[in-house]
Amino acid sequence: MIPLLVSDIKRTKYADAWMLQQRIMALRQSAALEDILLLTEHEHVYTLGKGSDDNHLLASEEELKAGGTDVFHIDRGGDVTYHGPGQIVGYPILDLNNYFLDVHRYLRSIEEVIIQTLVKFGISAGREKEMTGVWVQGEKIAAIGVKVSRWVTMHGFALNVNSDLTKFNRIIPCGIFHKGVTSMQRVLNREVPFQSVQKALVHSFADVFGCQPRWIDKEELNTMTLNLTTQEKEKELSQNLAPK
């Protein structure tokens, strides 16, 4: 089975997680690191993808500042979405050469991971025609937005577990006017154990992608990636200095 590192990097500011993703993606593209799934829970943030319309962010600058909510224009596909406490965000950084060279299939596989996870908690979820994401009774419970470069993936998915859904009132999520947003907590009418959902997601991911997960903690991940990045830079420098 394909090895998969898994790391829960705990609650993060969006900028910190984005920088970590970029560092790992570069290492994955150079084959210095295995495939990895990062799991996090962000501080309040709105992100706008390459296909976004700024008018879909309804909150004013004053409102955003007062609520301590960051805004980032980023390099994933899709429109505007919200990340915050109570939401599991997953960033798979995979070399699709190990799986299939088909971005459409990759998106459907991520959806399948979430659908299978929700079944384990008694929630029947599915897809909506011509829309990316996972839905429960016509409301979006998970958003997906990715970037693929040299067949290595970045960005990923966000599953609303115990999310503050009022934050979605200040955007038009993914530019979809006529659909609502929901969470596991709302569907089940109770708070859902966050860590249990996280572990179920990893199991479903392993099943769908045929991986063998190995958990590493945040400190080990940071040390590993920093050391590997230094080694890669030294290798590049020595190659540039070598006689031609």
Residue 167: burial class (beta carbons within 10 Å; 0-12, 13-18, 19+):
buried
- Per-residue pLDDT tens over the stretch 17-76: 999 999 999 999 999 999 999 999 999 999 999 878 888 888 888 898 888 999 999 999
How many Å apart are CA 78 and CA 147, to the nearest integer?
A: 10
For the beta carbon of residue 103, count every other beta carbon within 10 angstroms. 15
Looking at residue 180, what is its pLDDT? Answer: 87
What phi-psi label fits residue 143: left (phi over 0), alpha (psi between -120 and 50 degrees) or beta?
beta
With tokens 């919200």, the residue in question is: 82
User: Tell me: the pLDDT tens digits for 99-125?
Assistant: 999 999 999 999 999 999 999 999 999
The 10s digit of each residue's pLDDT in 62-90 is 898 888 999 999 999 888 899 999 999 99
Write down the pLDDT at residue 176: 58
Q: Please pick, among 144, 159, 174, 200, the residue that the annotation labels catalytic.
A: 174
Q: Which homologous superfamily is 2-236 in?
A: Bira Bifunctional Protein; Domain 2 (3.30.930.10)
Dist CA 109 CA 10 (whole Å): 24
Residue that the structure tokens 């600058």 belong to: 61
Q: Is 174 a catalytic residue?
A: yes
Spatial separation of the C-alpha atoms in residues 232 and 126, rounded to whole Å:
42
Taking Cα atoms as reference points, which of 46, 52, 134 lies closest to residue 83?
A: 46
- Digit-coded pLDDT (tens) for 165-200: 998 888 876 555 567 899 999 999 999 999 999 999
